Amino acid sequence: MSVAKPVIACLIVIGNEVLSGRTQDANLQYLAKALNVVGIRLMEARVIPDVEETIVATLNECRARFDYVFTTGGIGPTHDDITAACVAKAFGVRLVRHPEAEARLLRHYKPEDVNPQRLRMADTPEGAELVDNPVSSAPGFRIGNVIVLAGVPRIMQAMFEGYRHKLTGGAPMLSRTVVSLVPEGKMAAKAAAAQAAHPATEIGSYPFVRDGKLGVSLVVRGTDAVQLAAATEAIKDAIRSEGGEPVEEG
Amino acid sequence: MSVAKPVIACLIVIGNEVLSGRTQDANLQYLAKALNVVGIRLMEARVIPDVEETIVATLNECRARFDYVFTTGGIGPTHDDITAACVAKAFGVRLVRHPEAEARLLRHYKPEDVNPQRLRMADTPEGAELVDNPVSSAPGFRIGNVIVLAGVPRIMQAMFEGYRHKLTGGAPMLSRTVVSLVPEGKMAAKAAAAQAAHPATEIGSYPFVRDGKLGVSLVVRGTDAVQLAAATEAIKDAIRSEGGEPVEEG
């Protein structure tokens, strides 16, 4: 059996509005799930402000550490939209008007609505490949292993769905969830033993309160279905041995 | 007029469940708003997995860069709860049983429900100060500029509310929001001019669709109410000059 190196990604959420609490980010959760489907594992996310120095430094750190880096936010027409310029700076290339992106914007807007600020959305780092935006035309782009997406969730999702076939993933992470009303503190020793006995899987323990009752979701993750099944059975046995009733959730 | 250095913070969200998309983080938005009330500005957030090496490295990088570092997650009784041990390692101190934390746990649980895994929640880095947990007893803690909170939002919030009076903030960031139906791309040049004319404020531009109509929220932020008012008037004038009707939202 070959053990492939996992393909890992980082998400950089660019935007003061998330850090001020004005906006609840919805892109992390969407991308986490969507990337997993194509066998890419989100290993880190960062939320950073609209500050050039921070964006450039974060991009350069993350693109060296991860197979893919996704960014969301900061690609609109206003003065606080500085992502494209920062990506160019991080890669040490010029920011240039992309002819195809410009053509798309000119088709999208009525002639009287075209202005220099809107056309600025056609500026991309030299050598970048466009990422289509079927919602509002202004494209994202990819350069190296960095993929730049919109911040508005509906647009980001449409961009990602149109681009995902170009991503190269590994084995998708599979997961199984076992729920019981045995409190996690009572289960902890046996969950740890199950984890130790099944090191190819990751067992997470997440307490919850449902209908006034305290319970725990034990989530077993791994790329090998057989090993996953063995770890899941170990967890179910552990729950039963504490007098609980394991219920597997879909 | 004295210009105080802003007090800045970073949030580290520790947990595979957020990175897998299983759980939607709710702590960033809460802390962003709650910190602002006490004059602390959230400048960065990171979401990282339950991996010791990553947690230790992230803690050491962030505690050197920010006035305060908050962490959420990983302080429960199970094998995947490794935050306290990682904080001890980052600070180069021992992880020790905290007598007061242990006493609280022993009061909270029935004697037959006490076990070594639950008591592990009383282990804190040597020299740490407890952060009370009025919900489920197991405390968070503070060491240096790092404040360790629970991941469950209800517990995290209760911990923070009980601890906030011990935080030292600067001037709270004030904000005013002006909404109009002038599209942001049409407003962009004038918003940029308003930003340039009012450098002590930050003007953010956030498009939205409401009742099928495209509009934009222009958010003006700053610590000085007079400068904020001047920038807000400039934005309103800009909207009017584009034929729009500025509406200030509360």
Q: What is the pLDDT of residues A31-48, one digit of tens each?
A: 999 999 999 999 999 999
Q: What is the model's pTM?
A: 0.95
| Mean predicted lDDT score pLDDT of chain B | 95
Distance set, CA B62 to CA A174, A214, B11, B38, B151 (Å): 32, 34, 9, 20, 19
Q: What percent of chain A has pLDDT over 70?
A: 98
Query: What number of residues does chain A have?
Result: 250
Query: In this structure, how many other beta carbons lie within 10 angstroms of the beta carbon of residue A107?
Result: 8
The runs of H, that is alpha helices, within B14-111 are: 16-19, 27-37, 52-65, 83-91, 99-108
| CA atoms within 13 A of residue A55's CA, in its CB half-sphere | 26
Query: A130 forms bridges with which residues in the sheet?
Result: A141
The shortest CB-CB distance from A79 to any of B76, B192, B207 is to B192
- Decide if B20 and A36 are in contact by the 8 Å CB cutoff: yes
Per-residue pLDDT, B4: 61
The shortest CB-CB distance from B28 to any of A47, A80, A109 is to A47
Beta strands in chain B (DSSP E): 7-14, 40-48, 68-72, 95-97, 123-125, 129-131, 140-143, 146-149, 174-180, 202-210, 213-222, 247-249
Per-residue pLDDT, A5: 75
- A144 to chain B, closest Cα gap in Å: 23
- Residue A62, H or E segment: helix A52-65
Q: Tell me the helix, strand and coil percentages in chain B, rounded to 5.
A: 40, 25, 30
Check if A118 contacts B (Cβ < 8 Å): yes
Query: In this structure, how many other beta carbons lie within 10 angstroms of the beta carbon of residue A135?
Result: 14
Tens-place pLDDT, residues B123-161: 999 999 999 999 999 999 999 999 999 999 999 999 999
pLDDT at B2 over 70: no
Q: What percent of chain A has pLDDT over 90?
A: 91
CATH topology of domain A7-166: Molybdenum Cofactor Biosythetic Enzyme; Chain A (3.40.980)
Which token pair is A236? 């179910």
Per-residue pLDDT, B250: 76
Beta strands in chain A (DSSP E): 7-14, 40-48, 68-72, 95-97, 123-125, 129-131, 140-143, 146-149, 174-180, 202-210, 213-222, 247-249
Per-residue pLDDT, B51: 96
pLDDT at A1 over 50: no
pLDDT at B212 over 90: no
Check if B212 contacts A (Cβ < 8 Å): no
Query: What number of residues does chain B have?
Result: 250
Which token pair is A80? 């606080």
Tens-place pLDDT, residues A125-168: 999 999 999 999 999 999 999 999 999 999 999 999 999 999 99
Domain assignments of chain B as residue spans, ordered by start:
7-166, 174-249
Check if B152 contacts A (Cβ < 8 Å): yes
Check if B2 contacts A (Cβ < 8 Å): no
- Decide if A45 and B19 are in contact by the 8 Å CB cutoff: yes
Per-residue pLDDT, A2: 44
Distance set, CA B85 to CA A192, B80, B146, B218 (Å): 16, 11, 13, 44
d(C-alpha A179, C-alpha A164), whole Å? 33
ipTM of the complex in this document: 0.94
Structural class in CATH, domain B174-249: alpha beta
Contact call for residues B122 and B102 (beta carbons, < 8 A): yes
Three-state DSSP state, A188: helix
Contact call for residues B30 and A38 (beta carbons, < 8 A): no
Per-residue pLDDT, B59: 98
Check if B223 contacts A (Cβ < 8 Å): no
Q: How far is CA B220 from the centre of its chain?
A: 20
- Decide if B204 and A33 are in contact by the 8 Å CB cutoff: no
Q: Stretch A78-102: mean pLDDT, rounded?
A: 97
Which token pair is B249? 């939202």
Per-residue pLDDT, B213: 83
Check if A24 contacts B (Cβ < 8 Å): yes
